[in-house]
Structure 1
Amino acid sequence: MNPRNLRTVNSDMKLQDEDKTPDWAIDINCHLEEGHTFDAGKSWTIYRVPNNFHQVRESAFDPKIISVGPFHCKESSLQAMEEHKMRYLVRLLGGKFEKEGGSGLDGEELPRKTVKLEDLVKSMKLLEQKTRACYSENFNNIKSDEFVHMMVTDGCFVVEILRQYYKHVKHEEAKLKETVDDPSRQKKTVDDPIFETRWMLRTLQRDLLMLENQLPFFVLEELFKLTSTDQEETSLPVLAVTFFNPLLPREDIAAKLDKEEEYDHLLDVFRSTFLSAVRKKVKAHGWSGSSHNLSMPAIASQDRNLILDVFLTTFLSAVQACTRRGTHGSFSSSHSSASQDRQLNHCAIEVQEAGVEIQKQENCDLLDISYNDGVLKIPPLPINDDTVPLFFNFIAFEQCDDAARPFFTNFFMFLDSLIYSKLDVQILHREAIINHALGSNKAVAILINTLARQIVYDPSQCYLSAEMKKVNHRCKSTVKVGHAKIVRNSGDSFIACEYYPPGNVIGGTAY
Structure 2
Amino acid sequence: MENETEINEADDSSSMESVLVDNDYDGTVEELTNNVARKLLNDSPLPASCCIFRVPLQIRQKKIQAYKPDVISIGPFHRGQGGRRFRLMENVKRWYLQRLLLHASMTLPDLIEGVVDLDKRARDCYAEPLDLNKKEFVEMMVLDGCFLIELFRKGPSDEQHDENDPVYRMSGIRLYLYHDLLLLENQLPWFVLERIYSLTAVKNTTCEGHASSLTNLVLNFFIEYLGDNHILNRSEELHPKFLHILDLIRTVIVAPFENQSKGTQMPRIPNVTTLSEAGIKFEKSSKPSSCILDIKFDKGVITMPRLVIDERTGPLFRNLIAFEQCYYSCPHMITSYAVLMDNLINSSKDIDLLSDEKILENWLSSEDAAQFFNDLYNDTTVMGSYYGNLCQKVSDHYNRRWNKWMEKLRRDHFNSPWAIISLVAALILLVLTVLQTVYTIHQYYYPPK
Q: Structure 2: how far apart are the matches of 1:65 and 1:204? A: 7
* 1:79 alignment partner, one of 58, 80, 86: 86
Q: How does 1:105-116 map to 2 (within 5 A)?
A: 110=103, 112=104, 114-116=105-107
Aligned length: 379
Superimposed CA distance per residue, residues 78-112 of structure 1 (whole angstroms, 9 cap, x where no aligned partner): 43111000001112222xxxxxxxxxxxxxxx5x3
Q: Structure 1: how far apart are the matches of 2:148 and 2:77? A: 16
User: CA 1:290–1:43 in 2, change beyond 3 Å: closer, same or farther?
Assistant: farther
Q: How does 1:54-203 map to 2 (within 5 A)?
A: 54-77=60-83, 78-80=85-87, 81-94=89-102, 110=103, 112=104, 114-139=105-130, 141-165=131-155, 168=157, 188-191=160-163, 192-203=165-176
* 1:348 alignment partner, one of 272, 277, 284: 272
Q: How does 1:62-461 map to 2 (within 5 A)?
A: 62-77=68-83, 78-80=85-87, 81-94=89-102, 110=103, 112=104, 114-139=105-130, 141-165=131-155, 168=157, 188-191=160-163, 192-229=165-202, 233-248=211-226, 249-250=228-229, 255-256=234-235, 258-279=237-258, 281-282=259-260, 287=261, 289=262, 291=264, 339=265, 342-362=266-286, 363=288, 364-439=290-365, 441-458=366-383, 461=384
Q: How does 1:28-43 map to 2 (within 5 A)?
A: 28-30=36-38, 36-38=42-44, 40-43=46-49
The structural deviation recorded for 1:357 is 0.6
Query: SS in structure 2 opposite 1:423?
Result: helix
The structural deviation recorded for 1:436 is 3.1
Q: Structure 1: how far apart are the matches of 2:68 and 2:129? A: 20
Q: Structure 2: how far apart are the matches of 1:273 and 1:416? A: 23
Deviates more, 1:20-29 or 1:40-49: 20-29
Query: SS in structure 2 opposite 1:93?
Result: helix
What TM-score, normalized by structure 1, do the two folds share?
Answer: 0.67
Cα contact 1:271–1:394 (8 A) shared by 2: yes
Q: Structure 1: how far apart are the matches of 2:334 and 2:32? A: 42
Runs of 4+ aligned residues of structure 1 deviating over 6 Å after TM superposition are 21-24
User: CA 1:269–1:23 in 2, change beyond 3 Å: closer, same or farther?
Assistant: farther
- Counterpart residue type for residue 317 of structure 2: F
Cα contact 1:278–1:368 (8 A) shared by 2: yes
The structural deviation recorded for 1:220 is 0.3
- Counterpart residue type for residue 245 of structure 1: I
Cα contact 1:350–1:475 (8 A) shared by 2: no
- Counterpart residue type for residue 368 of structure 2: A
User: CA 1:218–1:254 in 2, change beyond 3 Å: closer, same or farther?
Assistant: farther
Identical columns (%): 30
Deviates more, 1:12-21 or 1:257-266: 12-21
What TM-score, normalized by structure 2, do the two folds share?
Answer: 0.76
Match of 1:509 in 2: none
Cα contact 2:231–2:291 (8 A) shared by 1: no
Match of 1:175 in 2: none
Query: SS in structure 2 opposite 1:435?
Result: strand
Superimposed CA distance per residue, residues 178-217 of structure 1 (whole angstroms, 9 cap, x where no aligned partner): xxxxxxxxxx444322111111111111110110000000
- Counterpart residue type for residue 141 of structure 2: M
Superimposed CA distance per residue, residues 439-494 of structure 1 (whole angstroms, 9 cap, x where no aligned partner): 3x333333322233312023xx22223322221111112499xxxxxxxxxxxxxx
- Counterpart residue type for residue 235 of structure 1: S
Match of 1:465 in 2: 388
- Counterpart residue type for residue 448 of structure 1: F
The structural deviation recorded for 1:234 is 0.5
Cα contact 2:321–2:377 (8 A) shared by 1: no
- Counterpart residue type for residue 402 of structure 1: Y
Deviates more, 1:343-352 or 1:204-213: 343-352
Superimposed CA distance per residue, residues 111-155 of structure 1 (whole angstroms, 9 cap, x where no aligned partner): x3x32222222233211111111111111x211111111011001
The structural deviation recorded for 1:373 is 1.7
The structural deviation recorded for 1:365 is 2.0
Cα contact 1:45–1:401 (8 A) shared by 2: yes
Unaligned runs of 5+ in 1: 95-109, 173-187, 292-338, 481-511
- Counterpart residue type for residue 255 of structure 2: S
Q: Structure 2: how far apart are the matches of 1:252 and 1:344? A: 26
Deviates more, 1:57-66 or 1:73-82: 73-82
Cα contact 1:241–1:254 (8 A) shared by 2: no
Cα contact 1:395–1:408 (8 A) shared by 2: yes
Match of 2:420 in 1: none
Unaligned runs of 5+ in 2: 1-12, 405-449
The structural deviation recorded for 1:50 is 1.1
- Counterpart residue type for residue 124 of structure 1: V
Query: SS in structure 2 opposite 1:359?
Result: strand
User: CA 1:37–1:252 in 2, change beyond 3 Å: closer, same or farther?
Assistant: closer
Find the structure with the greater CA-based Rg: 2
